Amino acid sequence: MRALAPVNEGVLDRHGFGVGYAVYGDGPVTVCLVMPDTIVHARAWKAQVPFLARHFRVVTVDPRGNGRSDRPTTPEQFAPTELEADVWAVLDRVEATRAVLGGLCSGAALATIMAAERPERVMGVVAINPGMALSPPLPHKLQYDFEAELDTDQGWATMNRHHWLRDWSGFAEFFFGEMFPEPHSTKQVEDTVAWATETTPEVMLLDRQSEADPRFGEGAEEMCRRVRCPVLVISGSLDMCQSPDRGRRVAELTGGDFVLMEGSGHLPNARDPVRVNLLIRDFVLRVSADRV
Q: What is the pLDDT of residues 125-175, one digit of tens each?
A: 999 999 999 999 999 999 999 999 999 999 999 999 999 999 999 999 999
Q: Identify the structural domains of the chain with CATH numbers, from first to last.
A: 8-135+165-288 (3.40.50.1820)
CA angle 121, 127, 133 (to 5 degrees): 105
Residue 71 has pLDDT above 70, yes or no: yes
Average pLDDT, whole number, for the chain? Answer: 96
State pLDDT tens for residues 230-255.
999 999 999 999 999 999 999 999 99
> How does residue 2 score in pLDDT terms, banded at 50, 70 and 90?
confident
State pLDDT tens for residues 17-51.
999 999 999 999 999 999 877 999 999 999 999 99
Q: Could you tell me the CA-to-CA distances from 83 to 90, 139, 188 in Å, in that order?
A: 11, 28, 26
Does residue 25 contact residue 56 with C-beta atoms inside 8 Å?
yes
Report which residue type is found at 104: L
Which residue would you say has higher pLDDT here, 62 or 3?
62
Of residues 72, 49, 6, 73, the one with CA closest to residue 86: 72
First to last CA, the chain: 33
Q: Could you tell me the CA-to-CA distances from 3 to 15, 60, 138 in Å, in that order?
A: 33, 15, 36
pLDDT of res. 1: 55
State pLDDT tens for residues 255-284.
999 999 999 999 999 999 999 999 999 999
